[in-house]
């Protein structure tokens, strides 16, 4: 679907949400959802509906500009995400000079690709090797490098992951299906508002003949957080 098509759908949906917000009636909300189900596979969750209703009210009171909201949503839905981090990783794999710059000064090297931004102004890149496996967490909240990885997954924000990643990283990784041998050191990096981390995973076996863009396609979000390998 084109971007314009999405925007039209979004507008249509806002009208449905407005009905729900104004009436505060479960019947009105379920009608809005039924209407929406005709166009979309999944009806929105209750929280999504509340957000949309709030957006509608703010828009009607001229407190927010809906075109600005559309721009923000489009940015995080379509343009900012792990595909950006994957570009950084793939470039580091094929360009050893770039890799050296990336590990020396992540912020500058990611800036070379124009991939810095809000919630990712100061970046440190840590390299997985045969001896060291890196894992990123934010023990305090959910600091995460938005420009290179998009928005953090739910489990990253969970109190269980935040607490246990530091205390028992090997057990946590095992639960993600990743067995790290006892000989491999696990380094856990605690993100802050000032410093965000990106893991440079090891290039997978059998990827020797791939070009940079093919390599970018095999890099996963989880491998750049450190809960998976490639």
Q: Which residues have a catalytic role annotated?
A: 138, 141-143
Beta carbons of 68 and 94 less than 8 angstroms apart: no
Q: Which is nearer to Co ion, 87 or 221 (CB)?
A: 221
Q: What share of the chain is helix, strand, coil (3-state, %, to 5)?
A: 55, 10, 35
User: By Cβ distance, which residue is nearest to Co ion?
Assistant: 143
Is residue 181 a known part of a binding site?
A: no
Q: Which is nearer to Co ion, 45 or 118 (CB)?
A: 118
Q: Which is nearer to Co ion, 194 or 208 (CB)?
A: 194
Tell me which residues touch Co ion (CB under 5 A): 138, 140-141, 143
Shortest Å, Cβ 191 to Co ion: 6
Instruction: Give Cα separations from 201 to 56, 83, 109 (angstroms).
Output: 43, 14, 17
Shortest Å, Cβ 142 to Co ion: 5
Tokens 């750049």 correspond to 224
Q: Which is nearer to Co ion, 9 or 190 (CB)?
A: 190
Shortest Å, Cβ 144 to Co ion: 8
Return the closest-CA partner of residue 135 out of 158, 156, 154: 156
Please name every residue paired with 185 in a beta bridge, in sequence order, or none if there are none: 132
Instruction: Give Cα separations from 132 to 28, 94, 128, 162, 224 (angstroms).
Output: 56, 21, 6, 21, 14
Shortest Å, Cβ 190 to Co ion: 9
**Alpha helices in 41-115, H assignment, sequence order:** 46-60, 66-74, 82-94, 96-104, 106-112
Is residue 2 a known part of a binding site?
A: no
Tokens 């990783």 correspond to 89
Q: Point out the annotated binding site for Fe(3+).
A: 138, 141-143
Annotated binding site: 138, 141-143
């Amino acid at each position: 679907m084109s971007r314009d098509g999405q925007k039209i759908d979004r507008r249509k949906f806002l009208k449905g949400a407005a009905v729900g917000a104004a009436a505060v009636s479960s019947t009105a909300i379920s009608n809005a959802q039924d209407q929406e189900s005709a166009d979309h596979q999944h009806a929105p969750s209750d929280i999504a509906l509340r957000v949309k209703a709030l957006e509608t009210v703010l828009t009607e009171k001229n407190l927010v500009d809906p075109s600005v909201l559309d721009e923000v949503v489009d940015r995080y839905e379509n343009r900012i995400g792990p595909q950006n981090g994957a570009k950084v990783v793939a470039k580091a794999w094929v360009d050893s000079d770039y890799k050296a710059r990336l590990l020396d000064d992540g912020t500058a090297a990611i800036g070379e690709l124009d991939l810095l931004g809000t919630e990712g102004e100061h970046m440190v890149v840590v390299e997985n090797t045969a001896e060291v496996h890196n894992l990123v967490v934010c023990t305090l909240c959910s600091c995460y490098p938005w420009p290179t990885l998009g928005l953090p997954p739910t489990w990253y924000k969970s109190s269980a992951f935040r607490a246990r990643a530091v205390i028992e990283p090997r057990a946590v990784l095992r639960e993600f299906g990743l067995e790290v041998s006892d000989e491999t050191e696990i380094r856990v990096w605690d993100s802050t508002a000032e410093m965000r981390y990106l893991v440079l995973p090891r290039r997978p076996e059998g990827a020797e003949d791939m070009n940079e863009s093919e390599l970018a396609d095999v890099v996963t979000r989880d491998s750049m957080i450190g809960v998976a390998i490639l």
